[in-house]
Amino acid sequence: MVTGLKQSSSVVAIGFNATEGVANTFSQTQVDLNLSPLDREVFVVLAINLDPFAPEAQLGVDTAVASSLTTTRQTAVQNLDNSNCLAHGSRLIRAAGFPDSGVAFDTVGIETPPATLDFIGIIATNDFFVQVQGTGNVTPKQVNGKLYGYRATASADIFAALVQSEVLSA
């Protein structure tokens, strides 16, 4: 357990979805955690599973579906180099330059962290955000997923530091 935090719930799984409104257009969904800031409640993230839909196979066209989960609102799908990005997943089909077919790739982070980690992130504000964007597809794509973690109460100084860090890094 992290110093300054006291677990206040059992482990819960929160399902989520983000869907493009129009094919190949960035879309973002806000998921409310219903945390109580008056009680200095935070959400300790143990694992995340992102499952982006498969891109469309089109002869000679590279296609992709990229997705991410972040602690703050974004204007594009993020990668793990963003301090607010807790997970990234994408599926790609590289077909440009191949006259008969393409090659499919999946790029996802580990779904469960190594046992040596206590957690993979802490969400100090009341919600998290899920992003998705396709490339080269004819129909809108989506991402489904689950976030696993538990609620915890933070000491006043830890809570203030976590909220400030999350908000200022947005």
Q: Which amino acid is at 38?
A: L
Q: Tell me, what's the pLDDT at 113? A: 58
Q: Which domains are delineated in the chain?
A: 5-168 (2.60.120)
Q: Tell me, what's the pLDDT at 79? A: 93
pLDDT digit of tens for each residue in the chain (170 aa)? 677 899 999 999 999 999 999 999 999 999 999 999 999 999 999 999 999 999 998 878 889 999 999 999 999 999 989 989 999 999 988 877 666 666 666 665 555 556 667 888 999 999 999 999 999 999 999 999 999 999 999 999 999 999 888 887 76
CB 82 within 8 A of CB 114: no
Q: What is the distance between the alpha carbons of residues 82 and 68, in angstroms, rounded to a whole number? A: 11
Q: Tell me, what's the pLDDT at 62? A: 87
> Which residue is associated with the tokens 């790609």?
92
Q: HSE, CB side, 13 Å, CA atoms: give it for residue 147.
A: 29
Q: Which amino acid is at 142?
A: Q
Q: What is the distance between the alpha carbons of residues 13 and 106, in angstroms, rounded to a whole number? A: 24
Q: Tell me, what's the pLDDT at 122? A: 92
- Please give the structure tokens belonging to residue 68: 């991410």
Q: Tell me, what's the pLDDT at 85? A: 94
Q: Tell me, what's the pLDDT at 93? A: 84
